[in-house]
Amino acid sequence: LTDAFLGNMFTTLGTDVIAHHEMDPDVRNDPMVWVFPRMTKCSFHLYGSSGDVMKHDALCLLAQNIINEKIYIFAWFWWVILATITGAELVYRCFTVFFPTLREMLLRYRARMTDRRTIEMVTKKVRASDWFLLYLLSKNMNPVHYRVFMNEFAKELEDEYGKRLLGSDSTNTSSV
């Protein structure tokens, strides 16, 4: 939307300004002048000595455009920084979803008081969404309480996992 408002010049505004400052001063054209002209032709209607209205042409300085160019160049660099941070965060989140060892390592880092084997077992048995909830809990709970919680949760997972194994083994043996 900003790009359309500025005549499709905003997308490359920052790179154009950087390239402008690296050019030879004798041959460079300021890209900011194309987007935000500083001078323009003005027509003033003045009363002459005879009382008639006279048209007077002059050059006018657009002071607001000098301020606007500073605001928009700041906005361009700010949006580039935000896009870079957002892209890095997206890659980080994709890695945590697709790599269980990274999830385990992050949870181990956050829950240092919890036994390593407990974290390893829990991380292997829960989905990425469940891991994310456990990770948020580790960030927001007292480490001692979190250790107790993780130990209880690991016991529940072992009991549930054991029941599933026994249930599947009994169906397999009865069919033989």
Range of the domain at 52: 2-95
Q: 6 and 87 share a domain?
A: yes
d(CA 119, CA 112): 10
What is the pLDDT at residue 166?
60
pLDDT confidence of residue 165: 58
Look up residue 131 and give its two tokens: 């891991």
Give the integer Cα–Cα distance in Å for 2 and 83.
Answer: 15
141 shares a domain with 60 = no
Residues 139, 78 share a domain: no
Same domain, 59 and 121: no
Inter-helix orientation angle 100-110/116-125, to 10°? 140
| Final residue before a domain boundary, out of 95, 110, 131 | 95
H/E segment holding residue 174: helix 143-175
Distance (Å, whole) CA 33 – CA 73: 12
Same domain, 7 and 86: yes
Q: Please identify, among 60, 95, 130, the residue that sits at the C-terminal boundary of a domain.
A: 95
The per-residue b/e assignment along 78-100, b for 16 or more CB within 10 angstroms, e otherwise, is eeeeeeeeeeeeeeeeeebeeee
Q: How far apart are CA 134 and CA 124, in angstroms?
A: 13
Give the per-residue pLDDT at 176.
Answer: 42
Is residue 26 exposed (0-12), middle (13-18) or buried (19+ Cβ within 10 Å)?
exposed
Tell me the pLDDT of the chain (176 aa) as tens digits.
Answer: 677 777 767 777 777 878 777 777 776 677 777 777 778 888 888 887 888 888 888 888 888 888 888 888 898 899 999 999 999 999 999 999 999 999 999 999 988 888 889 999 999 889 999 999 999 999 999 999 999 999 999 999 888 877 665 665 544 444 44
